[in-house]
Structure 1
């Protein structure tokens, strides 16, 4: 590549970056950034509300599952006690 081409590319890059910085810092661009950020914050709030609802539902499901397991364990314990009592009664009869 010749020196002129390299120089032209360098000057073109400098001009493009200067125009880019001007465009990025303009009032219109700042308004766009502000509105985009506000929309993102609203979206975040909506997602967090949904997550809270899901967590509450999961907590309810977990509590119900623990109750079911506790009842089942109590029934099994009662069955074991009943079987043990029957076995003891049979041994006493013999």
Structure 2
């Protein structure tokens, strides 16, 4: 009898819970919670975009530095070769 009473209480509690979760008030809470989550997502996406743009700028600067360095090294090699040819003559 005790098990049957517990089962009936569980069914009653579950049914009341489903009705409570499906009520207009609960739907309003869900809507407000979802709206807050969407606002948070927008904020995160703005931050991600700003970080991404900053990273692209850093990457472009790094590429330019490496290109200048490679040009300087190539010019130094050419100067060294020219100097050696002048000494050989």
CA distance in 1, matches of 2:9, 2:18: 14
Unaligned residue ranges in structure 2 (runs of 5+): none
Matches for 1:57-72 after TM superposition, within 5 Å: 57-72=54-69
- TM-score w.r.t. structure 1 length? 0.91
The number of equivalent residue pairs is 89
Q: Runs (4+) of structure 1 moved beyond 4 Å?
A: none
Alignment deviations for residues 20-78 of structure 1 (CA, whole Å, 9 cap, x no partner): 00110011000000000001001101110110011100000000000000001100000
Q: Is residue 53 from structure 1 mapped to residue 50 from structure 2 by the alignment?
A: yes
Cα RMSD over matched residues?
0.7
- TM-score w.r.t. structure 2 length? 0.96
Unaligned residue ranges in structure 1 (runs of 5+): none
Q: Is residue 85 from structure 1 mapped to residue 78 from structure 2 by the alignment?
A: no
